[in-house]
Structure 1
């Protein structure tokens, strides 16, 4: 392309931020910034900030919801930093800082007990709930935020109950250790979602830089707050509740109300589904006839059964991710069938000859044959990653023999 300023030989760009062109004029090739006439120094400052605190290649290298999530996460972290300052001051006062009658040994023992119980709590929580943190990342992320605020509130109140001080701070230490496990593990799951170029390490590192910047800002504000709240418990509690109630409530009301989310989980669990790849003995396969009924009209590498109103899924060893998703969808369909059948029976509108559970299972197979492939294609077209699943499957796998084999 030829212009009055020369012939453009090539162009290049750095992500979506800046672009250059190579221009040949009078036998000399020059490199010029594209649109440099309107380029201001403010943009270069923003570029440095972006390079320091945002992943390389932003915004193309991260998910579309990255900036929104990081903004609200930063607001929450700032609020938590200030609340943590109030809690730390109360804990120090509780162990005897400023009290001439307090001994160093007693304060050290209290602090060691607090740290020790926290370590035990971390181990126990990871043992009991570690496998849930991937499949229920949002739930445990919210849980960690709320539990962290409860722990800090307990630490603020602890000095006013000297007889129970050690017990209260140890309990708060357990809660904070759970927050550390749940928050860190779910953040890793969210990082996997946000990484669009397998750049999880870069996103995690920049998230650490953002958190450090927020903590520095919180530190500066805390230097102003500490003289105000010292020996002023009313102001301390007022500031804590302001940070605990107003800001988090605003965040959750804008993004996803916590109460509504918990109610939604309760509603989803009304129809119990065992989506864990459970043992064959747990399902209703009590005889060879039951197993034969489970295999009837079923060409999938999983079995469905019903036991005490609970839908059970038994996975075969060759079940793929697509098969797992189909099994989950079919279990939900079967659960709804059972719920509808129970409702008709309760209202007296059920037919005299109630359909058996196995007939519903067979009907669900036919329904999934008709709707699952379009459902899968629609989900992929909408941007869902259908090549992996975070369903909380257990390790049971079942192999069965058919008449033909």
Structure 2
């Protein structure tokens, strides 16, 4: 520092390099590493970050934010180009450029497609809405696969004019699933990425990023459209290239997400590893092993928070299933492991019940055991009494978020009669 300069204060923006305020000849100067002002290049980078990245980046978002957004940008760009090809095919199918086509026929086709899409959106949200939080990564990838299938159907539709309406309506149903699943899982991922209760800011900046990508896709599409018009072979070739890039980028995007909350898949991975060698995996290790599409491991399905009659059918069965002061009970009916939860159960109890259900499902699936379920159930309680406390401490030490879970519980809760015990 120059001898006639006096340091007044130091400031920084987020994790950026510090700026110093210096006093010189009665004036105050602002410097950074000996420079009095930022270069134009640095200024442009700063403006770009402020426009497209959440305030306080990178401290205000999860550690996987940048990698996820990179692959999400790649998939959005390729999807934009594929969508252009599909839109051109749809317009051609409804009669654009065909003198014999009528406005009424095109309008009816469009209305039927929109109507089936609306119904599909309602039905899918009813059937699978509760799964979109607990299995956000899986449904994010499924949504993008269905989106590609829908666009492929739209490209093929003009070649089958007699079935055109049916094809575009089916495509509309697929796209309605994409709309619900894509939007809902995007919201779930935003909750994960937000580190300063800044969900709105992250969502807004994500919208800005998507708009910029779509604008770039629009400019490229202006070059593509003259090339693919009246050239079905080139249209299909480009579509498959863009689709391959789209699916690859989506797979990399969901694989880059590191969730710290426990869903059934991640908890099962942790428990099996712990029972195998006593080690509790970190969130990064477990997320790398989490299946994001299909799981080929065949186990009995588990249903959580079910009604009592779905677990036991008689007072004697209830006595066998209950344990003193246990906040849950388990049973098996119709090839499913059912778990009933007490009204006073907390998050720790939910995790313990799920661990026991996972172990039961694995054991019964491996042995094909139907008779002797009571002995296996008793063994599962003994295992939890011996191992769960150590397992839970290991999960805490591995810095998993145990304040909440994504275990997809239904809402039934029990209050047992103390005299019955």
Question: Hey, what's the Cα distance between the residues in 1 that align with 2:31 and 2:308?
Answer: 70
Are residues 325 and 260 of structure 1, via their aligned partners in 2, closer, same or farther at CA, if it must alter by over 3 Å?
closer
2 CA distance for matches of 1:139 and 1:127? 18
Question: Rg larger in 1 or in 2?
Answer: 1
Aligned length: 389
Give the match's secondary structure for 1:235.
helix
TM-score (norm 2): 0.85
Q: Give the structure 2 partner of residue 68 of structure 1.
A: 67
The within-5 A match list for 1:47-66 is 47-66=46-65
Is the 2:136–2:188 contact (alpha carbons within 8 Å) kept by the matching residues of 1? yes
Q: What residue is the counterpart of 1:350 in the other structure? A: none
Which residue of structure 1 aligns with residue 344 of structure 2?
Answer: 318
Specify the SS of the correspondent of 2:9: strand
Superposed CA deviations along residues 206-251 of structure 1, whole A, max 9, x for unmatched, are: 0100000000000000000000001111110110011112452365
* Offset of residue 64 of structure 1: 0.5
Structure 2 CA distance for partners of 1:254 and 1:123, relative to 1, 3 Å: closer
TM-aligned CA distance change 1:254 to 1:143, over 3 Å: closer
Aligned-partner SS, 1:198: coil
Following the alignment from structure 1 to structure 2, what is the Cα–Cα distance between the partners of residues 339 and 248? 33
1:90-141 Cα deviation digits (max 9, x unpaired): 1111111111111111111111111111111111111111111111111111
Contact 1:23 1:29 in 2 (8 A): yes
CA positional deviation for 1:333: 1.6
Mark the runs of 5 or more structure 1 residues left unpaired by the alignment. Answer: 346-353
Deviates more, 1:6-15 or 1:41-50: 6-15
SS of corresponding position for 1:306: strand
SS at match of 2:8: strand
Q: How far does the alpha carbon of each residue in 1:263-317 deviate from its partner, in whole angstroms, 9 at most, with x for none?
A: 42x31xx22243321111111x233222222223x43311112335532210111
Distance 2:419 2:343 in 1: 19
- Partner of residue 393, structure 1: 409
Following superposition, the deviation at residue 365 of structure 1 comes to: 2.3
**Deviation of 1:377 (Å):** 2.9
Calculate the aligned-residue CA RMSD, in Å: 2.6
CA distance, structure 2, for counterparts of residue 254 and residue 182 of structure 1 = 16
Instruction: Identify which range, 6-15 or 316-325, moves more after superposition.
Output: 6-15
* 1:80 lines up with 2:79 in the alignment: yes
Q: Which residue of 1 aligns with 2:299?
A: 271
Tell me which residue corresponds to 2:393. Answer: 377
